[in-house]
Structures are given as structure tokens and as C-alpha cells.
Structure 1
Amino acid sequence: MDSGKVRELKEFIASCKSNPSLLHTPSLSFFKSYLLSLGARIPPQPKTEPVDDENYDDILEESDIEFDTTDVVRPDNDPPQKMGNPSAQVTEDQRDAAQLAKSKALDAVSQGKLDQALDLLTEAILLNPHSAILYATRASVFVMLKKPNAAIRDANTALKINPDSAKGYKTRGLSRAMLGLWTEALSDLHVASKIDYDEEIGMALKKVEPNAHKIEEHRRKCERLRKQKEQKRAQPKKQPKDEAQDKDTLSALKDGQVIGIHSVGELETKLSAASKTSRLAILYFTATWCGPCRYISPLYTSLAEKYQKVVFLKVDIDEAVDVAARWKVNSVPTFFFVKNGKEIDSVVGADKNTLERKIAQYSSPF
């Protein structure tokens, strides 16, 4: 092994010793799996503290996603390969010589002599720098050598010469997948499959699509959280005065109790308080001489105790004639259901089952 790579490996091992949690990094899952296959013991991943929603931007990164990184390689940082002169004039003899060099290169590939194939394809490119297929073919050899950056340079040149080069899109897609650029790889492979589908593209798509879909789902999640955060920030913060008023409003609603109403002004105050707190209000019209009212009133009181977040109001039509007239009460008992200041339903008569069913229905937040 190259001495430089050995030195890098030693530095990596030293980093893992000082910080074992590195082994839980998603991009190192292949190394973790290898260690486990040898019987190694991996320290458990340290628990993280709960994160404040306000700081979600700091943690929702793509590095947190579990990818299949089986075929991912380290980026190649070799000096750029030789490229042809795009403005050069190419003779017929040069085209023939380039084609011959390409044929020899393909023979070398079939024999596993990839470095020799690269030399021959470079020779062909220098002879005929206007051929997209020569660049795309050399890119495919770089893919075989696990040199994705070099392959991408050639694929980009091929696509610049011929924007419809299926091999250009294919080699660039395969190279981007090697670098873990899942979304970009998926885009290239989809284009390549539409131009000229083959089995290799199909196999690559099966590996790339799940990772690309994870990124897309992750980004949708981030977008939802960002919108929630913006909505939260857009809501005006309550001032101490507003909070005091809210407390007064809640105390005036008397949770779990039936509130007697004796005037139009008193009713409007209670209905306004119910609206401010987004509560359902029930307006019960009764009379002392009403037999069914005497039957339903104890149930109404027990329902107030059961549904403590509902505002239960009670009006005697003989005491508060103006209230009964405004609500056009023709018979008792009558129950009006009010939400956000608007009548949404009513029950006429002492039908206890319908009354409770509608209370349960309209008091639900959904």
C-alpha cells in the first residue's frame, strides 16, 4: 500500500480511538459493518440531548440520513487528465487514427488493461477532440478505475459536444453515485435511461433511487419545519397586559359550572370570552314552569362538570325576556350551540342523548 495512504489510515484510526462515536457516522457504515463482521465491539452511540425546535436548522442535515453507501468511494484528487483542443482542425487521417486507437483501447479494456486503455483513449482524444463518444468512453474507464471526478470531467465534455449523449449522462450518473451525490446521479441516470436504456443503468437506478428519495423526504420535512417556525415567529407575542386579560377571561367562564345569564349585555360578554378562548358555548333557554326543563336541567349541570372546556350558559325566558326575544325562542327547553360568535346548531326539547352527542361533537378540536 502507498505510504501516504498508510499514514492517512493511521490518522483515521487515531481519530476513532479518541472519538469512537465517529464509527456511527452514516457515511462510515460500511467500515462499521466490516468491523462487526470481524467480531469487533463497537461502543454504543452516545445519547444526544433533546434539541430545541428553534435550533432545528443545526441538526437537520443530510449527514443524519442513513444511506446505502456500499459503492461510495473517496474522491479522486489526481491532476486533471489531458483534454483535446476544441478549436483544432481535424483531418480525415486523424479521425481514422483516433478510431483505431479507440478500437485498441476497447481491446485493452476487455483484457483488464485499464491504464493502457486510458493512454490509448487519451491519444484518440488528442487526435479528434470533437468526438463526444471518445470522452464518454474514457469516462467509462475512469468509472471502472473508481475515479469519479476524472470521469465527470470527461462526461461534462462529452455532453458539451453532444447534449444527447446517453453514455455521457450514464457515466456522469454512475460517477456522481460513487461520490454520494444521489439526487444529481438520479437525474443523470433517468435522462440516460430515456435516451438509451441498458441493464447497467437499471441496476444503478435501483441503488440510487432509495437514497435520492430519502433526501427528497428529508427536504420536505425541513420545509415543513421551516414553515412551522415562520408561522410561530409570525404570531405576535402576548404582552403582560394581554396575558392578564386572558386570565380574567378564563376565570369569568367558570369551568365546570353553569353560568346564569340575565341580560343581553351579560350574554354578549360571555360569548365574546368563549370566542377569545376558542371554546364552544351552549345557550340553554328554560323556564320554571316547564316540566321537561326540570327533567333536563340536572343533566345539563352534570354535563358542565364533564365538559369543563365548554361554556354552559342558562337563560330563564321569564327573567331575561330581551335575550329570549333576540334569539327568537318559541319553546323550551331549547339549546343553541355557538362557536366563534356564530350559531352552528341547536336542539329543541329534552332530548338528552342528542344533546350530549352534539356537545361531544362540537367540543372536539378536530
Structure 2
Amino acid sequence: MAAPMQHEDLLKLKSFIEFVDANPTVLNMPQLQFVKDFVEKFGGKVPAGDFKMPDAAAGGKCPFGGDAGGKGKKPAEASESLSDDSQDEESLSEPESEVELDMEGVIEADNEPPQPMGDSAKAPTEEEADQAGDLRGQAAAAYGEQKFEEAITLYTKAIELNPGNALFHAKRGQAFLKLKKPNACIRDCDKALELNCDSAAAYKFRGRAHRLLGDFAEAAKDLRQACKLDFDEEADEWLREVTPNAKKIEQHRVKQERRQAERKVKERQRAQRRARKEQAKQSANSTGSGAGGAGGFPGGFPGGFPGGFPGAGAGGGGMPGGVDMADLMGLMKDPEVAAAMQDILANPANISKYVSNPKIFNLIKKFVPGGDIGAAFGQAEPPKAGPESGPEPKATKDSADFVDDGLD
């Protein structure tokens, strides 16, 4: 059943109670008189004395995550952190519901020493096999007379003569069931299935033993296999008896697996969210510290270009030529522009490399007083594109440039 409070409110209440437990005199403060009245109403007693904030150096803690020195999270930060993770924490901390099972018929487990299993490697002689068969007949007769201890003794002798017979183990396990010894039965049935994995009797009796121990899911699994190998009315009846509890357990396991998968997804999402917040915080810090440095160039562009880029420092009032700092920062994210600027800052004469690159050249002109790059760097500006001129007109006899060489 969920608490009638929000998860974040419960966390605050828990923090407050822990603080009061360590500093009970805080309840003597007038603002907390209603809490003091509540404590005394139920027989509690608040120590007399004035409350004094614990020393921060001694590890004193204030409620709601602060500290005595007032160095706790800012309210906005705490609220933001809580709002981000409280929902995930609430879902992850919800207690898993318990399965309500019908435990009628469940008995206390037996803890006797293991019974003899014989030597599985022994190959019985024909005479030993016959003797074991006779002993099995006597054991079955004793079982029919409800002499279960005697039946177990006779089956044990038969097993010692012919330990490789799976049915001997299964039938002895059946006798152990009658004596309310399910663990002994399970050991015999395990051995029988080791010798013969298709022994329906072993699955049947082991399933019943699991049921007596309250292991309903295992019981249903074994009894289903027994009915599949060799249908038996008694095994089917036992299966129908354990099926309701088995289904509850199986559904609960599916729910647990789904919750575990959801928990992993939410934990991964929370880690990603925190990583994004940290990255955004670092980016904001980087942007703030780099605002006066124009995209990573130390000090902006001081002295790197002729004119010194007045006003380009961290506290500058503006850029020359009406350049907008935001636009400049955007341009500096262009790898080509950034590389060119680094090259020119290292050696201003390298501007000649970029005379034919309008994107770089026009950007540089904005930072040169008067835009006269030729005067500033000793370089000629790129030729301006003019109207296209056709081929020079051919001289004619009437033109002033015509000279008659007399060769006509």
C-alpha cells in the first residue's frame, strides 16, 4: 500500500526527524511548538534548553540536506535535482509485493542423513539381479501393508544388489513420502532420474515431495513432466492441486523480471540525464570563460592583427567595424575559419594565402582599421571583378595606331 504522501515529502520528513533525534532541543523553538505538542501528546518528553545550531566543522547537519555552515545546496538547485530524480527513486524504492499462497498441507522439512545409494558403477550378476527382484516384491508387499519402514529397508537391500535400477530408487522415494520425509524422497528421485531421465514415477514422487515442502512451482514442473511421460490420474490430481499457487509464483517471477528490467532502464536514463546536465554545465562554464577569448584564441585577438582589435577584450565595449560578437563566435566554429585565424595569428604575413578565399578575407577586413588590408599587412587586396573585356580591337587603316609597312 502506497503512503499518502509524495516521495519527496517523505524524504524531507525523514531528514527532519533524523535532525530532531540528534538535536531534540530544536523543538523548543516557537516555530516548532506544534511538533513538541504532538510528541508530548503521546507521552514523549522534550529536553529543556535552548537550541544551538551544531558546529559545521563537527559535521553538524541541518534538515533537508543543508549544513550548519549554510553551505548546502541552493533551494533552486535542490529542487531541480529532486524533480529530476524523485520520480525514478520512488519507482525504484517501491517494495515488491509478496505472493499470497495457500500453504495448507505444507510440512516441516526432514533433515536426516542421506540414505545409502549403492555403487552406481557396479554391474550386478544374474543371481544378484534375481535377488534384488525378490526383495523388490517383498518391499512392495510391505508397502501395501503400510509397513513403510520395512519397505524402505527392503528397497535399500535391493538397491545395494542392483544400484543401477532407477525404479528401485523411485519406489523407495514413494515410501519416504508416506513417512513425511520429502527431502529423502527428493534424493532418491534425483538418483532415479540420473539413471533414467524418462522415469515418470521419479518425476511424480519428486513433484509431490516439492508440494509438501511448499515449493509449488517446482512441484508443478515435475508433475507436468510426469503426466507428459505417462499420464497418471493421481499425478494429474496432484498437479491440479498445486497449479493455483504455481501460477501465482510464475506470474510474480515475470513481474519481478519486468521490474528489474525497468529498474535498469531507469537507472541508465537517470545516469544519462545527469551526464547531460553535467555536460551542459561544463559547456556553459566554457562559453562564459571563453567569451572574452573569441573561440579559444587567448585574449581574443589582441595585437594579432594590426589595430589590436580595440574593444575585443573580456570587458570590451564592442568590436571594430560593427562586428557582432555572437556572429564572430558562430563563424569561429567553422573549422576552416578557425584554422585560418590560427595560421594568421601565428604569422600575419600568411594572410597572402587567403587573398583568394572571400570567406576568410572579408572576415579579416572587418578587423582592420578602415578595411585597408594592403596597408595593414603590406599585401594587395584581391583584384575586384570588373566588367568582362573582349579581345583588343584590331587596328585598321583609319586608326591612329595603323602603320603601313608597304608590303601589300
Would you tell me which structure has more strand in proportion to its own residues? 1
Using the size of structure 1 for normalisation, the TM-score is 0.48
Query: Structure with the greater relative contact order (CA < 8 A, sep ≥ 6): 1 or 2?
Result: 1
Using the size of structure 2 for normalisation, the TM-score is 0.44
Larger radius of gyration: 2
